[in-house]
Amino acid sequence: MSDTIENQVRGPKRRIEDLTADEIKAATGAILLADGSVFLGKGAGASGIATGELCFNTAMTGHQEILADPSYAGQIVCFTFPHVGNVGANVQDEEAASEPARKAAVGMVSRAPITAPASWRAEQSFDEWLAARGVIAVTGLDTRTLTRRIRQDGMPMVAIAHARDGKLDLDALAKLAHDAPGMEGRELTRAVTGAAAADWQSADWAWPEGYAQGPKDGPKVVVLDYGVKANILRRLAGAGACVHVMPGSSTAQDVLAEKPAGVVVSNGPGDPAETGKFALDTIRGVIEAGIPVLGICLGHQMLALAVGATTVKMTQGHHGANHPVKNISSGQVEIVSMNHGFAVDRDTLPTNAKETHVSLFDGTNCGFMLTDKPVYSVQHHPEASPGPQDSFAVFETFVTSL
């Protein structure tokens, strides 16, 4: 009986010993979970083996932007939308703002084989893009079972493998998954931050012109880069800022020497508490100098840590492009893009912090501002890419306040 309920909720758990020789022979791709369960499929994209935290993402489009988001470094994305690849891939939709930031998601899982592109913007098939990017993919899996498992039990550490010759060492993969370090306590931003400070030029995309040029004059905004998404930079430029990107290792003195009108603390991968060990001094120095600060996602979490709050690991995390978030001051609901596995514990926010946004999926904190300093912060991705543009105004509000 309990097995039936277990099977209904999580899907049947299959271990290596439950597989038939024919199934193993037919497979060129596999996912092994840390709990010993196995999912076989067809390999796609890059061949090889990777380990990472497996999360599910519910976006129906924008799969290139998702896998190119450096916040996904160290993670493998299971798309719940069955068809992936319909629009192919193109350079204009790149989300890495620097060369190191190209090391984003390490793996991808989808239900159907990757579709041939059917978009006038496609320059490459999605399969070719994955291969060029080093993203290992497995298709033909029961992604509903995998997703239900993640919903019930949380995001597991997994090993993903694509062997073109079909030679999959499932026992070795099971051991890799079992031994893989979890996301808590992992610092991943140093691998995806840009190596040197640089000005950023391009602004919002429009048809048929493509990307506009950012302004020549305008308030200078320094972006602390922990693996910043390019669309955050484009949106800041589109809102009228002259954007200067600095490595996440910059000190407060480095930042203040630029005489910024405002500072943005970027998104990024890994555990905010771990990155906070070297980033909080910089963030606190900027807040104390009275410079307006905007935090996004990892930046939001680290701003919360900088003012004395704590962050917690979420069970399933929020990954998708249709998450409802309530803006507490306006009462409006914004449908937003999300990608986070940690959250700010609202009960630990100090008395000079006012909660500004809340997730309508699970009530977790999605934003705060300080009442005595110009500090604003959101957990979701107001730059979208992919996703709805309901929160684009976050950038205009910030830049016009400078």
Ligand X SMILES: NC(=O)CC[C@H](N)C(=O)O
The least CB distance from residue 170 to ligand X, in Å, is 29
Out of 341, 367, 386, 387, which residue is the one contacting ligand X (CB under 6 A)? 341
Stretch touching ligand X by CB under 6 A, among 8-16, 38-46, 336-344, 346-354: 336-344
Q: Is 383 a catalytic residue?
A: yes
Out of 342, 368, 376, 395, which residue is the one contacting ligand X (CB under 6 A)? 342
Supply 72's token pair. 């996904």
The least CB distance from residue 14 to ligand X, in Å, is 29
Q: Is 297 a catalytic residue?
A: yes
The answer to whether 268 is annotated as binding is yes
Among 55, 78, 297, 366, the active-site one is: 297
- By CB under 6 A, is residue 270 in contact with ligand X? yes
Q: Is 48 left (phi over 0), alpha (psi -120 to 50) or beta?
A: left
The dihedral sign for the CA sequence 292, 296, 298, 300:
positive
- By CB under 6 A, is residue 77 in contact with ligand X? no
The answer to whether 107 is annotated as binding is no
Q: Is 242 a catalytic residue?
A: no
The least CB distance from residue 336 to ligand X, in Å, is 12
Q: Closer to ligand X at the Cβ: 237 or 298?
A: 298
Stretch touching ligand X by CB under 6 A, among 143-151, 201-209, 263-271, 323-331: 263-271
Size of the site for ligand X (CB under 6 A): 12
Out of 162, 323, 326, 340, which residue is the one contacting ligand X (CB under 6 A)? 340
The least CB distance from residue 158 to ligand X, in Å, is 16
First-to-last C-alpha distance (Å) of the chain: 62
The answer to whether 317 is annotated as binding is no
* Distance from C-alpha of 275 to C-alpha of 311, rounded to nearest angstrom: 12
Q: Closer to ligand X at the Cβ: 44 or 105?
A: 105
The answer to whether 290 is annotated as binding is no
**Residue owning tokens 């489009």:** 61
The least CB distance from residue 250 to ligand X, in Å, is 18
What is the contact surface with ligand X in residues (CB under 6 A)?
A: 71, 267-270, 272, 297-298, 339-342
